[in-house]
């Protein structure tokens, strides 16, 4: 996302924003929960049985997770190679959480928070999910630096959870 403040327009309108928030709080947990159960709960476990190690299932499901988003409107407007890291990197983080925690609640919650903040903070006509947000921009202009910034933030959250829950990092490649 561009750091130029002039491109952002404040479009916050309480009634439609909070009405949309109610709908999003109902629909997004279903969408993100399904993706996590399917990718990390089913596909990653199936691949784990084939590979006998967690590294390959983790990598494969992260890439497939990104590719499942290949037809989102943001990909069409910004390009495949610019947007794929922005879908694959969260998949890497969500997969690491699932492996180290051996549960799906944290990846599901992180995925939900990621999508909810993304939808409610800034919208654009070329956003995949149209909602009443706080800010609006004319067009999403994603760059590789956006993926790096987002990846660093997600890795910091992963590190925080790693410390809080005292996860065993060996579970990522065991």
Q: HSE (CB half, 13 Å, CA atoms) of 127?
A: 20
Question: What local confidence, expressed as pLDDT, does residue 98 receive?
Answer: 96
In angstroms, the Cα distances linking 56 to 34, 40, 59, 121, 173 are 22, 13, 5, 34, 8
C-alpha to C-alpha distance for 6 and 127, rounded to whole angstroms: 19
Domain coordinates of the chain in residue numbers? 8-172
C-alpha to C-alpha distance for 59 and 43, rounded to whole angstroms: 12
Yes or no: say if 111 and 35 are a contact pair by the CB < 8 Å rule.
Answer: yes
pLDDT in tens, the chain (174 residues): 456 778 889 999 999 999 999 999 999 999 999 999 999 999 999 999 999 889 999 999 999 999 999 999 989 888 899 889 989 999 999 999 999 999 999 999 999 999 999 899 988 888 888 889 999 888 777 777 777 888 899 999 999 999 999 999 998 887
Q: Report the C-alpha dihedral over residues 125, 35, 97, 134, rounded to 10 degrees.
A: 20
pTM of the model: 0.90
Question: What local confidence, expressed as pLDDT, does residue 78 receive?
Answer: 84
Reading the block at residue 71, the tokens are 């037809």
Question: What local confidence, expressed as pLDDT, does residue 3 receive?
Answer: 63
Question: What local confidence, expressed as pLDDT, does residue 39 receive?
Answer: 96
Question: What local confidence, expressed as pLDDT, does residue 130 receive?
Answer: 87
Reading the block at residue 160, the tokens are 């925080």
Only one residue has tokens 């199936």, namely: 46
């Amino acid at each position: 996302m561009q750091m130029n403040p002039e491109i952002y327009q404040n479009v916050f309108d309480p009634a439609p924003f909070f009405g949309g928030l109610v709908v999003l709080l109902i629909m997004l947990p279903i969408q993100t929960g399904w993706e996590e159960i399917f990718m990390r709960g089913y596909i990653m476990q199936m691949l784990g049985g084939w590979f006998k190690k967690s590294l390959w299932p983790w990598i494969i499901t992260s890439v497939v997770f990104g590719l499942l988003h290949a037809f989102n409107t943001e990909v069409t407007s910004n390009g495949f190679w610019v947007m794929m890291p922005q879908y694959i990197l969260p998949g890497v983080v969500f997969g690491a959480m699932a492996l180290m925690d051996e549960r799906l609640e944290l990846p599901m919650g992180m995925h939900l928070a990621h999508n909810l903040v993304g939808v409610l903070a800034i919208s654009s006509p070329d956003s995949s999910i149209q909602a009443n947000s706080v800010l609006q921009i004319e067009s999403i202009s994603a760059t590789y630096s956006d993926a790096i910034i987002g990846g660093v933030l997600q890795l910091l959250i992963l590190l925080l959870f790693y410390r809080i829950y005292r996860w065993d990092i060996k579970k990522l490649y065991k």
